[in-house]
Every structure is written in structure tokens, then in C-alpha cells.
Amino acid sequence: MNILYINHYAGTPALGMEYRPYHLALEWVRLGHRVLVLAADFSHVRTCQPAAGDETIDGIAWRWYRTPAYEGNGVARARNIAVFLGAVWRDTPRLVREFRPDAVIASSTYPMDFWVARRIARRCGARLVHEVHDLWPLSPIELSGMSPRHPFARLCQAAEDAACRDADLVVSVLPRVHEHLRSHGLDLRRLLIVPNGIDPQAWAVPPEPLRADVAAVLADSRAAGRTIVGYAGSMGQPNALDTLLDAAALLREAPVQILLVGDGHERRRLAGRIAAEQLSGVSLLAPIPKAQVPGFLGALDIAYLGWRRQPLYRFGIAPNKLMDYMMAGCAVLHAVEAGNDPVAEAGCGLTVAPEDPGAIARGVLELAALPAAQRRALGARGRAHVLAHHTYPVLARRFADALS
């Protein structure tokens, strides 16, 4: 089967997020399918940007379309989206002629790529798939306050409605989207839930040594007898790291070290706040390569993941970093209120209310008070849960079976 996978933001382990298209495509290639991934050569979520053009990575064919750089979520990002979609639209005759896909997947987070995918699929009689990562326009409406009457919101809604009506299959990362998609015209017999996952082979090799500055903070904290609470990932408003800093202020007298590793729009401001408030129990360091993440997580006592309090999360959550936390065997402190809670489902930590510094501080102290062996037992439950339900070989086969 020839699978055409359109994901504007797709990345690789060498380039950075997002990783799901790479891992699914890799498993499909291993199953004997041909895969061509279409992506933009600029994405705000990647650490490195590829050169425009065609290349093959780990048996997967990639086509990187030239797009303008941007920062933030304004007009420049909208232009980047429009340029990418226009490039794929114009490339349709070549894609149909040279690749001849049997399945076309629209997977760019925003839903407007569905129209491009539909054009390609109709020209070659391919199965048409809409993959849901986030619900647009609901996400910018509820998370960013965009008006439902905003032209961009209306455009997203028209695309989502078209996908619910015309797609042969809708695949959702989020587990509680049924009623929302049905309200926009989807026959739920065409819905498949395929959550995010992990590559077990990436965890089967010894972790890469940690960068010196990260290793030093970990070693110093351990020598001082401090409980190490870590966060690895993006630093944006949805990650609610301000609430963690509020909790850190409440924990000034506790033997706790909070270590934040990552990058994002909020990083500079958070660093300024740490300095201004003299939060000596908090260290903020630059992002580390993905190959170092298992070693970093394995050195933690507690891994932290927080969310803002948002009605949007009633449709469920599927955070990639939580899969890493669980696979690393971390005891997890999870500050969330959502339609699902993987930490509670796996029994691998403690869930507290989001945007509540006191609850987070108490959660840190509660997990810190446990014997180390008990925290390791919590982490072992999380790892077992991921291996049973969230490995990419299992998820990719489920996805591919639905394409046939």
C-alpha cells in the first residue's frame, strides 16, 4: 500500500517534533508499505529545519516544501500555512502521477489540509483519512479566545465539517471526541482512536550521556539530599509552568529541586521570573537532544506535567511527554482536569487540581515522602501500561489495518 501522509509540522528524531508521523511511517515501512511524508521546511516546533526538497530518512520518503519562517501565532504563521497548502495543491498532479497513493492522510493539526488531501485522493481513488490531533477551530477559540466569527475560525470550521462529512476514516489522538465529531456530521462507525505512543526500540539502548550542565545540577541536588522534580518539554502557556513556579515559592524551605529542561515562547519570561523572585530551588536549562531524554528522566525522583484549567480538555488529552515519563519509569505528578487521565489509568503517580499551586506543592511533598522503592513501583506501573497499550508497532498496525 502507498500511504501519502500530509503533516505540515512533521519532524524526525534528528530535527525535533513532531514525532508521531515519523514513528507511524517507520512502522508502516517495516510492514512493507511505501510512505511519502509531505511537510513544510519551517516549523516552530522543530529544533532544526530541513532543506527544501526530497530525501529519504530511515526508508521513509520525505518532501519538504519551502515555506516562510514565522514567530508566534499571527499573520506570519497563517502565511506559512497558506504557502504550504498552496505548494501541495500545485504538486497534486506529480503526486498522483509519481506516487499514486492508496491512502491519503491529512494530519497537520489545523484541518485545512483536508481539502488538499481530498483533491489528491479523488484523483487517484485513494482512501481519504482525517487525523485529529487537536480540535480546530475549538482549540484557538477556547484556548486563545478567538471569536467563532473570526475568518480563520470560520475557515477551520468549514474544513472540519468537510472532513466529518467526506473522510472515509477519521483517526483521533484524543479519546473523548465522539460527541463533538458526531455533532459536525461524522458517522461514528468511521472513527478510530489511535493515541500517541512510544518507540520501544529507542528505549532498548543505553541512554546518551547527559550534557554537562544538566548532569551537574542533578549531581549537586542529589548530593544535597534534595528530591528532584523534573519537567522536560515545551515551555508555552498551555504547559502552565507559572503554576509550578508558584508552587516552588511555597516549597522554598523544603529539600526539593525543580529542574526545567526545554524551550518555547515562555522560556525567557520564566527565566526572568525565577531570577526576580530568587527561586533558588528552581533550575531552568536549555533543551537536550531526544537521545538524552531517557537518561534525564531516569535521574528524577518525580516527573511533573501540568495543564491549564480548560473546558477543551473534556475531549481528552494525549501528551507525548507523558508517554516518555511513563516509559522512563517515573513517578508522575500530574496537574490536570480532563476527560481522561493516563496517570490515574496506569496508577503511576498522583493527580492534583490544575492551576493550584498549593495542590501541586502538597503533591510534591506527598510523593517525596514515599520511600524510593515505592516511587519506583509507581513508575514500573506506568512503564507496563505504555508497553501494553502505547507502542508504535501496535498503534501503527491498528491504523494500517483500518486503511485497507
Looking at the domain assignment, is residue 400 inside a domain? Answer: no
According to the model, what pLDDT value does residue 327 have?
Answer: 96
Are 143 and 216 found together in one domain?
A: no
Are 176 and 212 found together in one domain?
A: no
Are 172 and 217 found together in one domain?
A: no
DSSP readout, 256-288? EEEEEE--STTHHHHHHHHHHTT-TTEEEE---
d(CA 237, CA 327): 25
Are 149 and 219 found together in one domain?
A: no
Domain range for 185: 2-194
Looking at the domain assignment, is residue 397 inside a domain? Answer: no
Are 110 and 219 found together in one domain?
A: no
Are 27 and 127 found together in one domain?
A: yes
**One-letter amino acid for residue 349 of the chain:** G
Average confidence score pLDDT of the chain: 96
According to the model, what pLDDT value does residue 290 have?
Answer: 82
Looking at the domain assignment, is residue 273 inside a domain? Answer: yes
Are 103 and 181 found together in one domain?
A: yes
Of 154, 172, 194, which marks where a domain is finished? 194
Are 289 and 190 found together in one domain?
A: no
Q: Which residues of 366-388 are buried (b: 16+ CB within 10 A; e: fewer)?
A: ebbebeeeebeebbebbbebbee
Of 133, 164, 194, which marks where a domain is finished? 194
Average pLDDT of 201-218? Answer: 94
- 404: nearest Cα among 192, 200, 118: 192
Of 159, 194, 229, which marks where a domain is finished? 194
According to the model, what pLDDT value does residue 238 have?
Answer: 87
Q: Taking a C-beta distance cutoff of 8 angstroms, is the pair 339, 175 a contact?
A: yes
Are 210 and 94 found together in one domain?
A: no
**Residues 158-202: tens digit of each pLDDT:** 999 999 999 999 999 999 999 999 999 999 999 999 999 999 988
Looking at the domain assignment, is residue 74 inside a domain? Answer: yes
- 312: its cell numbers: 477543551
Average pLDDT of 312-317? Answer: 95
Are 171 and 211 found together in one domain?
A: no
Provide the number of structural domains found in the chain. Answer: 2
Higher pLDDT, 201 or 99: 99
**Residues 85-98: tens digit of each pLDDT:** 999 999 999 999 99
d(CA 256, CA 239): 20
Are 147 and 98 found together in one domain?
A: yes
Are 215 and 347 found together in one domain?
A: yes
- CATH code assigned at 354: 3.40.50.2000
Looking at the domain assignment, is residue 75 inside a domain? Answer: yes
